[in-house]
Each structure stands twice: as C-alpha cells, then as structure tokens.
Amino acid sequence: MNMLVKYSSAIVISLAFIGLNCATMNQQRSASSYSREIQELKSALQANPNNFEALRDLGAIYYDSQQTKLALNFLIKAFKKNPKDPKCLAYLGMTLEAQQKNDLALKLYKRYSKLPLLSSYRKLMQGRHYLLTRKMIHDQMRSLLAQEEQLGATQLSPQAVAIFPLEYQGKNQDHAQLGKGISEMMITDLSQVPGLKLVERVRLQALMEEMALGQSGMIDENTAPRMGKLLSAGKIIHGNYDTEGNKKLTIDVAYWDMINNQSPQFDTKNETLQNLFSLEKELVFNLIDNMGIELTPQQRQKIQFVPTQNMQAFMAYCMGLNKEDAGQFNEAAQYYQQAVQLDPGFKMANQKLEMNEAVAVVQDSKGNYAMQTDNKGSKSAPPTSTQDLVSDRLQNLSSSIGANFIPGQDTRKSLEEVGEAGANIGLGNLPEPPPLPTRK
C-alpha cells in the first residue's frame, strides 16, 4: 500500500511538471511568434464570434505574451460561455492576478477542487491560490503593524483564539519541530468547540515574520499580548516543551484572557513521549475548562480523535510544517509524503501533501512564481473602448463567481475518523525523506 501511495504521488507530480513546463515554454515565446496563431484564431472568431475555444486560446496567447489587458477581454468572454473549463479558469485567474485583481483571482483559483485530479491546471490553480493567500495575509499583517498605535482593546474578539507554536527548551534537535505539530493539533481540537474562532497558523506565522520573529520563534509575556492585539484575539495560548532522552516529555502551556486582563495561567504536564497525543488532549480539555466552556459528549468525542497513532509519521508531519512555514514547499512535500507512507490513513498529512505538491509545481527552482507575468514588460494598453468593455465585464464577473474572498479566520471542518494505522513507536532519528521526481 505504501509503494502505491508513493508512486501514485510521483505520477501526479510528474504529469503536473510536464504540463507546467509546456506552459512555461509558451511564456518564453514572443508576441511575434504567436502572430500566425493569433490570425487563425481571429479568423475563427470572425466566422463565429461565439467560438469558445478561439476566445479562450486567444486570451491565453495574449497572457503568455504579457498583454494582460487584451487577455482579460477575451478570457472573460470565454468564461461567460464555459465557466468550468480548466484552461480558461487557470488563465483567467493568472490574468486577474497580473492585473492586481487578487480577490477575483482567488475566487477562480478556489475552483481547483472541481477539476480532474490529474489535471495540471488543478495543481497550478491550487498552488497559486495558496501562495496568493499567503501573500495577501502578509500584506494585511504588514498593514496592521503600520497601524498598531491606532488599535484599541475594543477590537479584541472574545471568540478569537490564537495558539502560538510551542517553543523547544531542550537540546535534542530530533524533537525541535514537535512544537509546531502539537500546536497544530491544539488548533484543530479547539476548532471543534462551538463559538471559538481559531486564528489560522499561516496568519500567525505571517505576523511573526513581519515582526522579525519568524526564524527565532521567540515569544514572551510581552510579545504574545501584542500579537494577540494585532490579531484581534481575545484569548492567547502559548508555551514551551522539553524532552529528556527519547522517553520523557514536559509541556508548559499558558492561557491569557486579554479582554478580562487575566494573568497567564500555566498548566504543566509530564508524560512519556509515547503518550504525547493523550497529553495534548488533556491540555486541550484543561484549556476549555479555563475558558468556562461546557462540552457535550459528542463534542468531547470529536476532540478525542487522534489523527495518527504512528509517532514517526507525526514527526515527519512536524518537519513538513517547519519547511512549509519557511517557504520550502518542495522539501515540505517530501516530509508529508513520508508521513503518508508511514501511515496512509493520516488524513492531515495527505491534505498537506496535496497542497505542497501543488505549490512546488507553481514555483520555479528559485522559489518564484512560474508563469508569472512581469507587469513592467506589458505591452501598451488597448484602445479606450476595449478598456471600458473589460471594466464592464469585470463588474459582471465579480457577481458570477461569488463574494470577494478575504483571508481571515480558519473555518476548520471536523475531521472524519480514519482507522488507526502504524505502530506507536518511539521518536528516534527519521530517515531522510525520499526525493521527488526531478524536472527533465
């Protein structure tokens, strides 16, 4: 089963790379090299103004030749005729992004889940959706920091909870990434509690990076309340952990009630590393009690769910989280792939693997966007009448693809139970993750 997961993943990535490489080669062509195709497509449109493929392909050519205003004109027309076509969705999203119309681009990219699994456009749209969301969140955090002096305590939300990554106090680097995984589990568990809104991890990471805390991760009693204020979080959870050999784990977690000016309450737990998951559940239930929340038996049962019983798989997952936060999506995908191989039923790792594979496909070897239009190299604008038509169509397009997306609180859905898989083994050294297929 593990080999099947490995090779299925490799096939998907390879097919996506093939599609992406073809698209990247198209981008390198000049506008003049497209002249024959453009004339043929224009002739097809003269014969039939409703020719969807001609509209779509002409828009794609104009995008590849960096004439994004002309591209937008044709791609909007094509979208109106067939809003489910993968190539049209991808090119229209990229064109909108190149025009700095990020909200509309995100709404289109979000449709990747409805595309065939092996479609290179699915990977492309999924990866760009994630990267563009991260960029917008970073922009928001930067803006918040610039307006920090104007922010007041009245903006704090009593429902918003920010859980910061636990800091490692030990010396065994094999355990240094466990804190991110434990914090992620706590976020997932507390998101099951009605009335609480968990601040998503990517938002926390973005704020830490904007505050120059991204690498050190050092958060103390002064910086935590400040960050909670910037995130409008009325509740803050932070702490540290230490390990002794490969057997003992100690976790100290502090809970701040920002609205009621409640001093941090520390909860210290000691357990064996083998019982890490039960320790995390105990901490979560204590936090819920401190918040004065009563749970139903059904809600408690959801929180009790453990995503994996395989400690090696969980460790690989933690390593993936660290690489993802550092923007090293290719390496993150390798660790998530390893977690899935160790436990095919580890749903959280499967979801992370799919996302990071998609982002790795979108980025080039230098970590930049592939197929990204350079606005400085754009051609001159089309006639005013064409601009007016595009403006009108954009207004209609916004209503056609739903409300504007604004990166905000994570609306995490409940995890479905999966069968326990893997062995409850210790946290020894992990083997290096298997390499992903290389581009040819």
The predicted pLDDT at position 196 comes to 94
Q: Per the structure block, which two tokens stand in for 293?
A: 């929340």
Q: Per the structure block, which two tokens stand in for 144?
A: 């918040």
Q: How confident is the model at residue 125 (pLDDT cuts 50, 70, 90)?
A: very high
Does the pLDDT at position 181 exceed 70? yes
The region of weakest confidence among 125-129, 317-321, 373-377 is 373-377
- Residue 321 CB partners (closer than 8 Å, separation 6+): 177, 180, 181, 184, 201, 332, 352
Q: Are 38 and 58 in contact (CB under 8 A)?
A: yes
Q: How confident is the model at residue 373 (pLDDT cuts 50, 70, 90)?
A: very low
The predicted pLDDT at position 139 comes to 87
Does the pLDDT at position 371 exceed 50? no
Considering only residues 82 and 389, tell me which one the structure prediction assigns the higher pLDDT. Answer: 82
Q: What gap in Å lies between CA 132 and CA 138, rounded to an integer?
A: 10
Reading phi first (left if > 0) and then psi (alpha if -120 to 50, else beta), residue 367 is in: left
The β-bridge partners of 324 are: none
Residues 214-249 pLDDT 10s: 444 556 666 777 787 888 888 989 888 998 877 789
Considering only residues 34 and 32, tell me which one the structure prediction assigns the higher pLDDT. Answer: 34
Q: Are 136 and 407 in contact (CB under 8 A)?
A: yes
Residues 83-109 pLDDT 10s: 999 999 999 999 999 999 999 999 999
Query: How many distinct helices (H) and strands (E) make up the chain?
Result: 16, 6
Helices 2-28 and 52-64: angle between axes, nearest 10 degrees: 80
Q: Are 124 and 20 in contact (CB under 8 A)?
A: yes
Ranges of H-type helices in 156-290: 178-190, 201-210, 223-230, 276-290
Element (DSSP H or E) covering residue 213: none
HSE at residue 350, side-chain half, CA atoms within 13 A, is 12
> CA-CA distances (angstroms) from residue 145 to 200, 207, 226, 330?
18, 9, 10, 30
Cα-Cα-Cα-Cα torsion 176, 181, 182, 185, nearest 10 degrees, comes to 180
SS3 68: helix
The predicted pLDDT at position 426 comes to 39
Q: How confident is the model at residue 2 (pLDDT cuts 50, 70, 90)?
A: very low
- Residue 152 CB partners (closer than 8 Å, separation 6+): none
Identity at 155, one-letter amino acid code: Q
What are the structural domains of the chain? 30-64+66-144+378-400 (1.25.40.10), 152-306 (3.40.50.10070)
Among residues of the chain, what percentage have pLDDT more than 70? 72
Residues 58-82 pLDDT 10s: 999 999 999 999 999 999 999 999 9
The predicted pLDDT at position 32 comes to 66
pTM of the model: 0.71
The predicted pLDDT at position 10 comes to 47
Residues 238-288 pLDDT 10s: 888 998 877 789 999 988 888 887 777 788 888 888 889 999 999 999 999
The predicted pLDDT at position 409 comes to 40
String of DSSP letters for 91-129: HHHHHHHHTT-HHHHHHHHGGGGGS-TT-HHHHHHHHHH
Q: What gap in Å lies between CA 103 and CA 96, rounded to an integer?
A: 9
Closest CA to 105 of 86, 91, 123, 120: 91
- Please give the distance of CA 71 from its chain centroid, rounded to a whole number: 28
Identity at 54, one-letter amino acid code: A
The region of weakest confidence among 14-23, 43-52, 211-220 is 14-23
CB-count exposure of residue 112 (10 Å: 0-12, 13-18, 19+): buried
| Number of other residues whose CB lies within 10 A of the CB of residue 397 | 22
Q: Per the structure block, which two tokens stand in for 319?
A: 């390593």
SS3 322: helix
Q: What gap in Å lies between CA 160 and CA 235, rounded to an integer?
A: 6
The predicted pLDDT at position 20 comes to 45
The predicted pLDDT at position 266 comes to 81
Identity at 114, one-letter amino acid code: K
The predicted pLDDT at position 6 comes to 47
Q: Are 264 and 255 in contact (CB under 8 A)?
A: yes
Does the pLDDT at position 405 exceed 50? no
Q: Are 235 and 224 in contact (CB under 8 A)?
A: no
Closest CA to 123 of 46, 199, 214, 15: 15
The predicted pLDDT at position 369 comes to 52
Q: Phi, psi at residue 252, to the nearest 5°?
A: -115, 120
Considering only residues 151 and 148, tell me which one the structure prediction assigns the higher pLDDT. Answer: 148
